[in-house]
A = this chain, B = another copy of it.
Amino acid sequence: MSASKPSVDAGPVRMSLSSRFENIEMAQHLCGKLLEGREVPEETKHWILMALREGLANAIKHGNSQNLEKRVHVEMRVEQDTLEIRIRDEGSGFDPERVSDPLAPENRLKTSGRGIFYMKTFMDDVRFDRYKGGGMEIVLTKSLNAGKE
């Protein structure tokens, strides 16, 4: 039998991971499972997983500074055909307004600074919140039936 069809929304799935880049794939794997059976085009799924990877990498690297004592918290849910992913770290947060534009000519050949841009490109919406008690929470959303790409 193929995967059980998620006719009802399965409720939010939450997970937390220690701050290792190797763990990014676990969250991607779980997200892939959450999208299974939903007729999400392969293409859309690919870009969602890339955005998720960027968000997790930032949480691990910039948020938690790869401190293994700190964790990355992820919540994923599908409601009314919209995927929402929340990624929260235990770092000291940052001001998204002050992130430089990777398309500006002086930044075009920099070796970093594209992660947030990719998330914004591949998802419908990216929101940044400072989480009470420190840390940053980013909220990525993507409609699963109307593709952007």
User: Per DSSP, are chain A's interface residues mostly helix, strand or loop, or mixed?
Assistant: mixed
Q: Which residues of A contact B (CB under 8 A)?
A: 3-4, 6, 8, 10-18, 20, 22-23, 25-26, 29-30, 33-34, 68, 71
Instruction: Assess whether A18 is in contact with B12, with CB atoms less than 8 Å apart.
Output: yes
Chain B residue nearest to A29 (CB atoms) is B33
Instruction: Assess whether A11 is in contact with B17, with CB atoms less than 8 Å apart.
Output: yes
Contacts of A26 in B (CB 8 A): 10, 13, 30, 33-34
Whole-angstrom distance from the CB of A49 to the nearest CB of chain B?
13
Contacts of A71 in B (CB 8 A): 14
Cα distance A4–B26 in the bound complex, in angstroms: 11
Whole-angstrom distance from the CB of A30 to the nearest CB of chain B?
5
Cα distance A26–B68 in the bound complex, in angstroms: 25
Contact partner, A33, options B4, B6, B13, B25, Cβ 8 Å = B25
Whole-angstrom distance from the CB of A119 to the nearest CB of chain B?
22
